[in-house]
A and B are shown apart, each in its own frame.
Chain A
Amino acid sequence: MKVAYYPGCVAQESGKELDIATRAVAKILGIELVDFPNFSCCGSGFIDEANQTLNVALNGRNLAIAEKASMDVVMTVCSTCQGMLAHAKHTLAKDPVVRKRSDETLTKIGYRYQGTATPKHLMQIIVENLGGAEKLRPYVKRPLTGVKVAAFYGCHILRPHDIMEFDDPEDPHYFEDIIRVIGAEPVYYRGRVMCCGFPIQFVKPATAERIAGKQIQEAKRHGADTMATPCPLCHISLDNYQKEAGRAVGEELDMPVLHFPQLLGLAFGLDPKDLGLPRHLADTTGLVEKLSRVAVPA
């Protein structure tokens, strides 16, 4: 299938490994990624706090760019981008006042938003377009046997449910289904649907880090070898700020945190280096060593 690829800011800058892993995995899965160098930032929830109409129009433009190229699916790899694009689509459909202001503005720059393109996270595409977790089985070259993976969903892919329309908002299972199919063992813990603390990292770092610390600590108590997340902002909180999070909860956490496409890539037999694992701040060598004991057939 062919999708408009919306990598989001982080995957294009400090979290480049997410983009690298996404491209590698999409190629294997036969998802053709069409790049649009004119996509703008989704606003990350922050622009929405300052000006809703502006935020909706920015994302209306993003969706209209895909529509102009006759693309039905805009593929995201970030729970927050997914949340913001879906919010914009929802608001444009339900709020005539914002819709009018957005339409008037987009007309001035030569776009017409029609509502035909749907934003979908890669995880959602696997579930809804490729036919579900089971369809990944033929691609698994290195089953992650014996590896315990703690899924960390990232709020905006799940909630609010009436806008996101994906999985159960407090009790999801799609990520764990995928973890099972790639041969690993899912870890069930409450933090998997909780917030990572990222939205207030710049407002009150001590609280943000305590929140991140609690989730990592809980994953660890449940025996996780690694965490994995479909959101690069969660990745920043859980990986980049893991040392600080550990200090906040008084424990050396030492927990590898994978991006969702990296987890798939490892199971598909790709080299951890080619998936950008050395770029993480939390050490992944223990995890990679564990994986190296699983032979990849030539």
Chain B
Amino acid sequence: MVAIPFEVSRSAGPGQKPRFDKFTVNVSEETPILTALLQIRSELDPSLGLRYSCRQAICGSCAMRVNGKSRLVCSTPVGPEFRAHGKVVIEPMANQPVVKDLITDMTPFWDRYRRVHPHLILDPAHPLPKDKESSMTPEQFDQFKETPRCIACGACYSACPALGSDDEFLGPMALAKMYRFVVDPRDSAYRQRLATIQNQSLWLCLRCNMCVEACPKDVRPAERIVDLKRLAIQELGAPEQGSRHAEKFMTNIEDGGVLNEMKLARETLGIFGTLKQIPKGIQMMRHGRSLKKHPPIQGVQEVKVIYSELNKPEDLMHRPRPAGKGVKGGGQ
């Protein structure tokens, strides 16, 4: 048994400034943080508010921040956190209003989930067979083997820095969920789904991979979002800033093998956008930061061969995907 100092965020409700209450609990290092919190509630402070249910990483109720990281507390042991930080600081999930103490109001999370229409949309002209199961190939199934594992715990939503900075972003869970329907061969709204996110939300993902680390089920939302970006470009072209930037970056490197920063700005931002960047350019030049074009790399012809061979549509729907890191915690 080890005496573990806890600092727990306490808040009376929405908009109230939280305070940190200190508790010490005697538990073994393997003890799940949830168990320690329940011990605090039963022995030290019965007013502590927290949400939990299954205690085995299935229900997705107990996501919180543990020393800043978004985690299911039922499957996170006390020991490593205590050893790394000398204490365990518990806060409610981020990016959502707090109801009380460690309980958040997940309405913004569920609103975004609803916005991606998380259900099969069938084409009435091609109904599913009534008398037998609707089959798909193992390759088709492979495309969404990660996403159905999601337990909607909100850990990714809490960990996402884009969500905290832009209300328009749909967030990792909702977009990963949309991906699951986009690649489902039974779904008929494939292009419409992509079109609804193409304009803005899709391209606000920062690719920071915080969601990949936070997800207890290895759904790897950031990677599913990149999958969506490729599908969107392939199906709908590059009609707006985000996809245009990716496309123009790609063709930019074909020219000289190395980035031409000025050209990229001009092509992505257009004439007016580039004009707006002029004061920044002057400021940079004053500090000796030239934006001179870099000469082409040696062997730029080799790069051009790679482009001529591979700058073609990829088979994005039916390609087997390598296995991920495996599922953390119990249950499936």
Contacts and interface: CB of A to CB of B under 8 A. Distances in A.
| Main SS class of interface, A | helix
B213 interface: yes
Interface stretch (B144-152, B170-178, B254-262): B254-262
B289 A279 contact: yes
Interface string B288-308: 111110100111001101110
A246 interface: no
Given A58-B306, A162-B325, A199-B207, A52 B314 contact: yes
Nearest to A15: B289
Interface stretch (A43-51, A112-120, A144-152, A220-228): A43-51
Interface stretch (B8-16, B50-58, B127-135, B161-169): B161-169
Contacts of A46: 245-246, 249-250
A289 interface: no
A97 B319 contact: yes
Contacts of A96: 320
Nearest to A37: B298
Interface residues of A, number: 70
Interface string A21-43: 00000000000000001111101
Interface in B232-259: 233, 241-243, 245-247, 249-250, 253, 257-259
Interface stretch (A101-109, A178-186, A253-261, A262-270): A101-109
A207 B162 contact: yes
Given A61-B306, A202-B241, A190 B261 contact: no
Contacts of A204: 166, 200, 203-204, 241
Contact of A171 (B69, B246, B309): B69
B289 A171 contact: no
A155 B284 contact: no
B297 A40 contact: yes
A197 B213 contact: no
Given A50-B247, A200-B203, A41 B258 contact: yes
Contact of A195 (B206, B259, B265, B287): B206
A241 B283 CA distance: 11
A195 B213 CA distance: 14
B324 A162 contact: yes
Question: Interface size class for chain B?
Answer: 35 or more
Interface string A197-240: 10110111001001100100000000000000000000000001
A155 B242 CA distance: 20
A50 B233 contact: yes
B250 A51 contact: yes
B188 interface: no
B99 to A, nearest CB: 23
A197 B206 CA distance: 7
Interface stretch (A6-14, A122-130, A133-141): A6-14
A194 interface: yes
Interface string B317-332: 0011111110000000
A54 B69 contact: no
B165 A207 contact: yes
A278 interface: yes
A199 B208 CA distance: 9
A40 B303 contact: yes
Contacts of A104: 309
B220 interface: yes
Given A41-B253, A281-B287, A159 B210 contact: yes
A195 B258 CA distance: 24
Given A202-B245, A281-B284, A108 B233 contact: no
B310 interface: yes
Contacts of B210: 155, 159, 170, 193-195
A109 B302 contact: yes
Given A108-B309, A171-B67, A194-B161, A14 B291 contact: yes
Contacts of B67: 171
Contacts of A171: 67-69, 84
B324 A51 contact: no
Contacts of B259: 9-10, 13, 41, 44
B250 A50 contact: yes
A279 B284 CA distance: 8
Contacts of B314: 51-53
Contacts of B291: 13-14
Contacts of A240: 280, 284, 289
Nearest to A159: B209
B59 interface: no
B96 interface: no
Interface in A62-94: 91, 94
Given A108-B305, A110-B302, A160-B220, 19 more contacts: A9-B294, A13-B292, A14-B291, A40-B257, A49-B233, A50-B243, A51-B310, A54-B307, A58-B303, A94-B322, A106-B306, A160-B213, A162-B324, A171-B68, A171-B69, A195-B208, A199-B207, A200-B206, A279-B287
10 contacts: A12-B258, A13-B294, A14-B290, A38-B302, A94-B322, A195-B208, A210-B165, A241-B280, A279-B287, A279-B289
Which 3 pairs of residues, A with B, have the shortest CB-CB distance?
A159-B209, A94-B322, A46-B249
